[in-house]
Amino acid sequence: MKLPLLSHPEINDDLLKNKGVSIRAFCDTVRKRKDGSCTIRIRIIHERFPKYYSTKIKLSVEEFLKMCGEKPRGDLREKKVIIYSLMKKAYDIVLGMPKFTFEEFDSHFTGGRGSDKQNVYQWYKVKIHELSENGQVGTVTTYQYSMESLKDFTKKEELSFDQITPKFLERYERWMASKGKSPTTVGIYLRPLRHIFNQALRDKSKFLYPDQYPFNDYKIPSPKNIKKALSKEEVKKIFEYEPETNSPEHLYRDIWLFSYLCNGINMKDICRLRYENISGDHIIFKRAKTARTNKDSKPIEIIITEYVKPIIDRWGTKSTNPKSFIFPFLTNDLTPLQEQAKIKQATKQCNKYIKRIARKLDINKSISTYAARHSYASTMRRAGISPSFIGESMGHTSTKTTDAYFASFEDQQRRENVKKLTDWD
């Protein structure tokens, strides 16, 4: 049964429409209490976005229907007067505002106070603690940056869920752009917030309504595809380049090629490879990125080819302990924070030396460890290998992720196809 909304007889809806606002009270049957009673809430909608305010009055559905009648009696009459007074208070505040915003309305209607559950930053802190306990140092940093960015934007130490509307997010995106931040950075900072919203919606207390979810109407910016892949001829130049034997340049050239030859494995996973991951002529491992979040993720299998084996032989630690790391970047006594620092340093060094080699070889592209991963994907695609196989070999859980690697290749292929129209020879 659909319950009625309670309107105040003295509220002029035409005046509210000029502000883009509506005010109604309703019986919240979604969050029914154990005794069967429901909280009566005031719902304020501004430009299609709702926000809910408790009247602290609790009634059964039957009592609510009686109260909505023309002449409720006794206790129900008193409660209706209280609800009307709160609705009138809200109405007077809205009419007195030059331009309606929930933030300003809250400061007058509730004093801007909210429970810990309503405070988004409290959810951030809980999530950051959880990630720290799991040793997910990199993700901790992302959540911290996201939270501090929102604090810098709002200039406040509290932020309630119902303040975060699609318009709020649009203003935040424009503010980030004014600070010189790219759409990619905006996306990185907003995905933690979206995750927290999703967690809050699953909370058993049901304090958040699905229609308060702002990410249906606001889409997080997607990173623009940047051509990172090298051609096979450019990779061949790096492969045939002869660095000084056993020099840092030699090590990091080999590590870059190891990534390219081994399914585009990234630096973090290279650093974390152990001898127990070697099984015959295969390397079998699970990506660090998905090992915690997806317990059912398939392990990645790499074939140790005639080009891969010499790299392992040359730079491997040659330990007899299967738990030892293959490459000399990590040790077993590191804390998660120390491990992250070591991986970042190895990545930085690899980027430094591979850029230096690229300049020597007149490869005029922005080359990095990530270019090895993209080059693997593009080379395989050009060879006619199916995207599903490539995605599986790279450990992608979604075909959309694999498609992103092919975007620049597909554009290049289209250009080459068009050229054939005037290739008269």
CATH number of the domain bearing residue 240 = 1.10.443.10
Q: Which of 150, 158, 204, 164 is nearest to 50 (CA)?
A: 164
Domain boundary among 109, 132, 154: 109
Same domain, 243 and 333: yes
Is residue 58 included in any domain, yes or no?
yes
d(CA 177, CA 397): 31
Which among 416, 350, 408, 353 is positioned nearest to 377, based on CA atoms? 408
**CB count, 10 Å around CB of 203?**
11
Q: What is the pTM of this model?
A: 0.57
Same-domain status, 162 and 98: no
Q: Which amino acid is residue 384, in one-letter code? A: G
Q: Is residue 118 within 8 Å of residue 124, measured between CB atoms? A: no
**Do 349 and 382 belong to one domain?**
yes
One domain, residues 34 and 164: no
CA–CA separation, 337 and 135 (whole Å): 8
Q: Which two tokens stand for residue 411?
A: 């554009």
The C-alpha atoms of residue 124 and residue 121 are separated, in whole angstroms, by 5
Residue that terminates a domain, selected from 89, 109, 129: 109
Instruction: Select from 187, 216, 245 the last residue of a domain.
Output: 216
Residue 115 covered by a domain: no
Are 137 and 248 in a shared domain?
no
Determine the Cα–Cα distance for residues 390 and 373; give it in Å rounded to an integer. Answer: 11
**Do 167 and 276 lie in a common domain?**
no
CA separation for the pair 266, 245 (Å, rounded): 24
Query: Is residue 138 domain-shared with residue 86, that is, in the same domain?
Result: no
- 257 with 205, same domain? no
Same domain, 101 and 185: no
Domain that holds residue 58: 13-109
CA distance 353 to 368: 9
- 381 lies in the same domain as 278: yes
Structure tokens at 245: 């034997």
Residue 175 lies in a domain: yes
Q: In Å, how far from its chain's centre is CA 73? A: 53
Closest CA relative to residue 38, chosen from 84, 87, 79, 89: 79
Q: Has residue 2 been placed in a domain?
A: no
Give the residue ranges of DSSP H helices in 120-266. 120-133, 137-154, 166-178, 183-201, 232-240, 248-261
Alpha carbon separation from 348 to 114, 180, 250, 341, 343 (Å, rounded): 44, 24, 15, 10, 9
Is 425 part of a structural domain of the chain?
A: no
Same domain, 208 and 131: yes
Number of domains making up the chain: 3
**Beta-sheet pairing, 49-59 with 278-279:** unpaired
User: Cα Rg for the chain, rounded, in angstroms?
Assistant: 29
- For residue 4, being part of any structural domain is answered with no
| CA separation for the pair 259, 271 (Å, rounded) | 11
Residue 5 in domain: no
Query: Same domain for 259 and 132?
Result: no
| 221 falls within a domain | no
Q: Torsion angle, CA of 26/27/32/33, rounded to 10 degrees?
A: 110
H helix intervals, 202-300: 232-240, 248-261, 267-272, 288-291
Contact 198, 181 (CB under 8 A): no
pLDDT tens-digit profile, the chain (425 residues): 689 999 999 999 998 998 999 999 999 998 888 888 999 999 999 988 899 998 989 999 999 999 998 889 888 998 999 999 999 999 999 998 889 988 888 878 876 554 567 889 999 999 998 888 777 888 888 999 999 999 999 998 888 887 898 999 999 999 999 999 999 899 999 999 999 999 998 887 677 778 789 999 899 997 665 557 888 899 999 999 999 999 999 999 999 999 999 988 999 999 999 999 999 999 998 888 765 555 567 888 888 999 999 999 999 999 999 999 999 999 999 988 889 899 999 999 999 999 999 999 999 888 999 899 888 888 888 777 777 777 777 776 655 555 555 545 555 554 554 454 445 45
